A and B are shown apart, each in its own frame.
Chain A
Amino acid sequence: MMVLALALTRIRNMYAVVMLTGIYSLLGASLYVILDAVDVAFTEAAVGAGMSTVLMLGTLALTSDREKVTSSAKSLRALFLVCVTGAVLIYGTLDMPHYGDPAAPIHHHVVPRYLEDSGREVGLPNVVTSVLASYRSYDTMGEAFVIFTAAAGVLALIGRSRRRRRPEDGDASGETAPGGGSGS
């Protein structure tokens, strides 16, 4: 993943960058599988590696496939900022409990109750689903609304441009069929 991340910063061809991002996501998904988070891995593989790659390719088709070269002074400032942020983040991880530590707070708060009682209360073998869809269903509903809003926002921004653009072209065909296929 480190090699990929370094390659991503060096490559200027956007198609290669998009593909490498997809591979990066797939490696991340494998990492989640190693950490026994199969549901998260599934989502990462489907969304990170699959869907966002397709969406980025779609965006690239609309824009240019070459990255603009920025001045080195700007890059240095950005590098400094990234290093500071990374140092702060690493400093934050120093306080975190070790992976798999039974005394970590995440294993104490509500998790034992979910693990022990969800079989009786909800009756599903997959506790992740129980937590997501039953105990935390407000959150999941919020997520569903976020996705709905995202799609509605995309539709509002670029979904109807065909109808607007045609008359500006002065093309007579635009006026004859204003309703046809405007939904994409």
Chain B
Amino acid sequence: MMQRKAVIRVTSKLLIPFILLFALYVQWHGDFGPGGGFQAGVIFGAGFILYGLVYGVHQARFVIPAWVTRLVLALGVILYAAVGFAGLFMGGHFLNYSVLAHEPTHGQHLGILLVELGVGMTVAAAMVTIFFAFAGQDEEAHGAEWD
């Protein structure tokens, strides 16, 4: 794609760690400020998409192979449902987090943290998957070079 544009490559290389870090901040700080799994997932996915835009889909696929995104995609949903069933098995209702720990509020904290993580994982993987599905198509149609 834009392999030869040095400015873009260097700047994005500088930016991507901060994008991922900010995504993690939004993910884990969603209980206290604006944000949460959904937004964090989108930002996390955007970091990888930026990498894919600058360095090409093949290179990005080398960083996160297809099976990883698919695994994370499914794991996020499974984690969410598993938290729900954990509440069920520990004596509460489905998706009732209060029984997950000794203190109800601690259980709520734990449950919310886990389901937000599940949402974040699924959203990030879905964004990356959809983008690479489109971009991969394009590389096929026009050859490897695409600006």
Contacts and interface: CB of A to CB of B under 8 A. Distances in A.
A75 interface: no
B133 A42 contact: no
A154 B127 CA distance: 11
Nearest to A44: B39
Interface stretch (A7-15, A82-90, A91-99, A142-150): A142-150
Interface residues on B, range: 35 or more
Interface stretch (A16-24, A106-114, A129-137): A129-137
Contacts of B116: 129, 133
Interface string B10-28: 0000000000000000100
A128 B46 CA distance: 24
Interface of A (DSSP majority class): helix
A134 B112 contact: yes
A55 B137 contact: no
Contacts of B137: 62, 158, 161
B122 A141 contact: no
Q: Which residue, of B104, B116, B119, has the highest number of chain A Cβ atoms within 10 A?
A: B119
10 contacts: A50-B46, A61-B134, A61-B138, A62-B134, A129-B116, A141-B81, A147-B122, A151-B126, A165-B140, A184-B66
Cβ-closest 5 pairs across A and B: A183-B66, A184-B136, A123-B105, A151-B126, A58-B134
